[in-house]
Chain A
């Protein structure tokens, strides 16, 4: 291979990296006030750092009462979905430099779920919708096979995209239909139904399709693509929903 003497990362890191940014954070604590407010914080931050790093700087050095969920900090646990500059993203996967640090960076809780404190929302309705689609492999084997079930690489590929879901709720809470009616299953639940409907080993596709044929099911989708834009895992959510709709019409999957 060609030996790079200095790569892009290192060239950038030579100069002093810090810039001043404003974080404009939506605050709400019912123990203190029934009203939500905006609060600004000025931070010195390296633009290659994450929005989550900025929130940590606030919490650790400026205001310990700021409350948000987070865990892995690299986009795999799904704890820190937030509305950042008006778009749903993971705070740990959004770099400051990618969201125009010249202007105040707004950080709000995701929409459509009850806010409990600051950026923390009630996730229970979200997980209930997930549980409602029977998100587990169902087979009708009377005798379990001794070895693994066989599945061709092509059949495995068929539902690969929807296995990436981390249940962060970025998609569901970006959906205008869900904002208006929390009864709608929402994109994430449909993605997780898709993951099983199109798994060649699963034998409960019909049942899952009937669940999604419900008035609060897949037909509520208005194809706005917000969910696809919001997904931090790059899942083609709207396409998956369309495939479920098609399967309902053709009963082929």
Chain B
């Protein structure tokens, strides 16, 4: 075991982690731990753009953006945080441009902007061009630009270091972050990183679904590590299903395709979104569009022999426009479906895309131990966190924005804190949990296999807690997850070695997914209303009287060692917008 000492440790090297690292490295001795290489992070898969009311191509302002974000999140958004997001969006985009990001340009040479779902002029009058973009690889360009600037700033990376545990020391009833424990993939060695401040920026957990746009590596490692140590998880029942995933594969096809004029059609060729969202049509918010697609499918208007998908039609757009604005996604259609998007519509279905919930933080990125108490030295930003700027449903282009605004804020806040704070003593035998977890998996002689359990988990999640949910389906999921968690105790791996043991890694990742799936299902069961991405067929309306509140899920361990999820609730911060019925 090796022990390292840093002022600031950042877990994860996607957009939020690297944006934080650029700030933290300037201010404190910083280490960035990532289980991949930085440029492999899933920020790179984001396509359509980053919202900011630059008003480069038409009238716009940050207040309209704030309103759209609050409305898009079905009023579960903390409005003070949304205001910060929309205000600081402008500088965030300009920061990236100054760092070198090659945005598409207007004829005047300014940053070009395009339409995106849920972003409107003057509180819903009509779509507005607010998304700053670089073709359909905006996330790729953000990830590359941030990595380039990390190289420039001399950020210290520990690549392929997998963080498995969060160290918390409790003094006088106050939980304080002491550091993290990581597993070095190349050697199997365990490393303890003592740090004054730790920032989680480790991304989402979409891999508990089967049809998902998420990378194989998005297994909720950060959420699970802090949850096990008594930190709550907020609003985990809210998961976004992106309307346009490639049929059966789930690969993302950007909403920018509809922003450029693409149209969703059913088997009769009908532009069905006109029925569901007369003003915004195909550019309604994602939860609305995904439900509309499944309504078409359920009512027998889906395409194909099994009627299980609809079409994204780009055939009326000029090929030059597709080549210039949507080169990657048109290539995905060619590569994976053998479809020529110039002439043929693309079969799509909703795909599990984004966790609105996560580790609760305030607007400085400080992690909360309950509704109000900050955990000194612990921070989170990006998809792993819940500020909450996305509420019950995130708007497209607000995630690339979130990682930049709150990544930067967390980086500055953590480094400032580590400059004035002292180290917290490490717990005795800090690596104990990780050592025993690894040894248990490496020496297990059980008869369960990781791949089988993961497949069953993904199937039950897709079947029971996806776009449409009921008490019965969620209960089915809760029971299945409990069974899988039990069977997980008998999981065994084949690779017993130390070097690049990805067999072991996948077993640990599965454990994290199971923990988070349980939190999600239990949170969803208790929310007896429909709001944003959480749609209950047995409670089809939003219920502001009983459920205008954030879910806070805590891990409870009984005297007999049994684990349960305890739910509590936190008020939503409302400033200028009163809840209204959401229409697009």
Chain A residues engaging chain B, CB cutoff 8 angstroms: 1-10, 12-14, 29-32, 48, 59-61, 63-65, 67-79, 93, 95, 116-118, 120, 123, 127, 131, 134-137, 144-145, 147-153, 156, 159-160, 163-167, 196, 199, 201-202, 234
In the complex, A73 Cα to B45 Cα: how many Å?
Answer: 10
When the two chains form their complex, are residues A147 and B104 in contact, meaning their CB atoms are under 8 A apart?
no
When the two chains form their complex, are residues A71 and B215 in contact, meaning their CB atoms are under 8 A apart?
yes
Q: Which residues of B contact A13 (CB under 8 A)?
A: 305
Is B102 engaged at the interface, CB distance under 8 Å to the other chain?
yes
Distance (Å) between the CB of A165 and the closest chain B CB? 8
In the complex, A52 Cα to B7 Cα: how many Å?
Answer: 40
In the complex, A147 Cα to B52 Cα: how many Å?
Answer: 13
Distance (Å) between the CB of A159 and the closest chain B CB? 7
Assuming the contacts A136-B100, A201-B100, asked whether A4 and B344 have C-beta atoms less than 8 A apart, the reply is: yes
Q: Interface stretch among B144-152, B282-290, B540-548? A: B144-152
Q: Which residues of B contact A134 (CB under 8 A)?
A: 152
- Chain B at the A interface: SS class: loop
Distance (Å) between the CB of A233 and the closest chain B CB? 9
Q: Which residues of B contact A159 (CB under 8 A)?
A: 102
B326-337, CB under 8 A of A: which get 1 and which 0?
001001100111
Assuming the contacts A144-B98, A148-B97, asked whether A6 and B304 have C-beta atoms less than 8 A apart, the reply is: yes
Pick the contact of B110: A30, A150, A166 (CB < 8 A): A150
Distance (Å) between the CB of A234 and the closest chain B CB? 8
Q: Which residues of B contact A77 (CB under 8 A)?
A: 36, 39-42, 44-45, 215
When the two chains form their complex, are residues A1 and B500 in contact, meaning their CB atoms are under 8 A apart?
no
Residue ID in chain A nearest B214 by CB atoms: A72
B82-121, CB under 8 A of A: which get 1 and which 0?
0000000000011001111011111111110000000000
When the two chains form their complex, are residues B102 and A156 in contact, meaning their CB atoms are under 8 A apart?
yes
What are 27 A-B residue pairs whose CB atoms fall within 8 Å in the complex? A1-B265, A4-B345, A6-B304, A13-B305, A59-B503, A60-B449, A60-B451, A64-B450, A64-B503, A65-B495, A70-B216, A71-B36, A75-B335, A76-B45, A76-B137, A76-B328, A77-B36, A79-B36, A95-B335, A116-B500, A117-B500, A120-B500, A136-B149, A137-B148, A156-B105, A160-B135, A196-B100
Distance (Å) between the CB of B254 and the closest chain A CB? 12
When the two chains form their complex, are residues A71 and B42 in contact, meaning their CB atoms are under 8 A apart?
yes
Residue ID in chain B nearest A52 by CB atoms: B216
Chain B residues engaging chain A, CB cutoff 8 angstroms: 36-37, 39-42, 44-45, 93-94, 97-100, 102-111, 134-135, 137, 140-141, 144, 148-149, 151-152, 186, 215-217, 247, 249, 251, 265, 267-269, 303-305, 313, 315-316, 328, 331-332, 335-339, 344-345, 347, 449-451, 493-495, 497-503
Distance (Å) between the CB of A61 and the closest chain B CB? 6
Pick the contact of A149: B98, B269, B315 (CB < 8 A): B98
Residue ID in chain B nearest A196 by CB atoms: B100
Distance (Å) between the CB of A156 and the closest chain B CB? 5
Pick the contact of A10: B108, B305, B450 (CB < 8 A): B305
When the two chains form their complex, are residues A65 and B335 in contact, meaning their CB atoms are under 8 A apart?
no
Q: Which residues of A contact B148 (CB under 8 A)?
A: 135-137
Q: Which residues of B contact A167 (CB under 8 A)?
A: 39
When the two chains form their complex, are residues A152 and B345 in contact, meaning their CB atoms are under 8 A apart?
no
In the complex, A159 Cα to B100 Cα: how many Å?
Answer: 12
When the two chains form their complex, are residues B335 and A64 in contact, meaning their CB atoms are under 8 A apart?
no
Assuming the contacts A150-B110, A166-B39, asked whether A67 and B338 have C-beta atoms less than 8 A apart, the reply is: no
Distance (Å) between the CB of B328 and the closest chain A CB? 8
Assuming the contacts A116-B186, A151-B109, A156-B104, asked whether A79 and B40 have C-beta atoms less than 8 A apart, the reply is: yes
In the complex, A166 Cα to B29 Cα: how many Å?
Answer: 29
In the complex, A19 Cα to B305 Cα: how many Å?
Answer: 22
In the complex, A8 Cα to B304 Cα: how many Å?
Answer: 10
When the two chains form their complex, are residues B107 and A8 in contact, meaning their CB atoms are under 8 A apart?
no
When the two chains form their complex, are residues B137 and A164 in contact, meaning their CB atoms are under 8 A apart?
yes
Distance (Å) between the CB of B334 and the closest chain A CB? 11
Scoring B41, B105, B316, B494 by chain A CB atoms within 10 A of each residue's CB, the highest score goes to: B105
Pick the contact of B44: A32, A48, A131, A166 (CB < 8 A): A166
Q: Which residues of A contact B41 (CB under 8 A)?
A: 77
In the complex, A148 Cα to B54 Cα: how many Å?
Answer: 10
When the two chains form their complex, are residues B108 and A150 in contact, meaning their CB atoms are under 8 A apart?
yes
When the two chains form their complex, are residues A9 and B337 in contact, meaning their CB atoms are under 8 A apart?
yes
